[in-house]
Structure 1
Amino acid sequence: MGLFKQKIVDERVQNMQNKIYREIYYIVYLICISSLIIKMFLYGRGFEHVTTELIILLTCAIYYSIRGMYSGVLSEEVEIHDANSKYRFSTKTIVIGILCGVVIALAMALNSAINYADSNAQALEYFFIVFLISLVIYAPFLAVFLFIGQQSAVKKSKKINDKMLEDNENEW
């Protein structure tokens, strides 16, 4: 008992620190999104001006997903969400994938109508053709991609969580 000292942790302090860290994360996220929007209005739609913000946003999201999956927390979060929410987490994931597909299809359709059409009639034609084709391609792809990714992450998290529980039982 003399070699290793256990650190005494006050749960109230620990919870308050976690709350502050969460607030900091939201502030950084809000600043990045605000900066991204402002730069897109000032400099146009190019990615060269918003690369840093995109890297920060994507890195945070990927890190949170991986960390949640390998700590076993993700499966617990999904179970709590499904117990408390009207719609299952997997349903929301599919809807988000479809909405992202719609946004991408709208962006591509607007780009085609604005940049490549010579008349208003041709602009409408380009818009609807590109929108429908993009919608048929991107919405199902993103919905399936996000659903499969989410399901595999939850499955991996559950497996890790079960292993941790089994290891804890073996210690007793």
Structure 2
Amino acid sequence: MRRKTKSITIDGIDKKILRMLMKEARTPILEVARNVGISGAAIHQRLRKLEKAKLISGSQLIVNPEVLGYTTCAFVGVYLDKEADTHTIIKLLHRIPEVLECHYTSGHWNLFLKVLCINNDHLIQLLNSLQEIGGVFRTESLISLNQEIDRQVKV
């Protein structure tokens, strides 16, 4: 069965390739080709097609933050002043390495951040620095006790 995305149609072979590489991005292309039943060159062509359509983009190593000493994951809801310059605030947030994600949201907060800190004291320092940003009215934080699900969209 083919599934039509915004700009590309992916077939069963594309799905097999994606599933293998989503599980382990460092799988050699020839191993993918053997498992899928087509040539390595065809795998490369399909991957280029998927990259060109922006369905996939590169690959990455995943670093375990706990090994580096980051044990506190928190989510921070940010309330902005009505006259806040959101673009400038986002630029400032880009400069804070503890901010891993920033989302515009509907509902209570204007922005919702995922942050990673070494410990709760580090989180307090981070929250204080966030509240010093011009245009930030206040913040609310939620500490993650444990992450039970971490997955990508199903292909």
Normalising by structure 1, we get a TM-score of: 0.20
Higher strand share: 2
Larger radius of gyration: 1
| TM-score normalized with structure 2 length | 0.22
More helix by share: 1
